[in-house]
Amino acid sequence: MHNSVQEICQRSMERHQSYQWSRFNEGQPINQVEMAKLRDQTRTDLRQVLNPDQVEEFTLRYSHNAHQLRMELAGMDPTPEEFRKIFRAIDAADHQMQLEFGSVEAMSPKQRERYERQRDTSIQEILPPQRYQAYLMTKDPLYRQAQMTAMQYGASSRAVMPIYQMTKTTETRRQQIMNNTTLSPQQKNDELNKVNMEQLRALQQIVNEANNLR
């Protein structure tokens, strides 16, 4: 069985590389629906040699969807059991969406809103309220920005939440300055520069403290 799985993985890699090279040589962008069909073929092949539990274990460890989910949930730091439950709850719908649309970007606003609402509901049903709130926070663009900032500065994951909170506070201050009708354009510019400098100092302090705790 091990050899059969290895052969399936090898064929899968060859199909992906062949498709990508052909698109590249034709000067065409990668079609995400076609990529999803290639991944679906791999799953079909695996079902010929593995039982359902083994297929799930394989996709949980090595699939495209599992990789994407790990990146998506990095901010909430899920336990192995939480990750397994979430993956089990949404993988089939995610896979079907990819086969039909390629990615959420190809969906209409209404389709995307319905898909994301159903996805969030599936996750809410399996997570305790506090953990679900942690999941929702990872969807906040400012939180994702904080994750990227921590990575860029080589900071540990402990820095993400303080950076996120500091960024939210800073954005609120920026909006207050921009909406302050008593300030002249020059005064607004001066105040915004002050906020930017304070943000940089606060960011450096957060990074240093997080790294010192390693």
pLDDT digits (tens, 9 = 90+) for 123-156: 999 999 999 998 998 888 888 888 888 888 888 7
Nearest to 43 by CA among 23, 24, 57: 57
Are 135 and 69 in contact by the 8 Å Cβ rule? The answer is: no
Q: How far apart are CA 159 and CA 194, in angstroms?
A: 23
Q: How far apart are CA 124 and CA 26, in angstroms?
A: 44
1-14 confidence digits (pLDDT tens): 789 999 999 999 99
Q: pTM here?
A: 0.74
What is the amino acid identity at position 168? Answer: K
Least confident of 45-59, 66-80, 109-123: 66-80
Nearest to 127 by CA among 136, 114, 115: 136
Q: Is 76 exposed, middle or buried (0-12, 13-18, 19+ CB in 10 A)?
A: buried
Report residue 96 as tokens: 């079907």
Q: How far apart are CA 34 and CA 24, in angstroms?
A: 14
CA–CA distance from 155 to each of 139, 146, 204 (Å)? Answer: 21, 11, 10
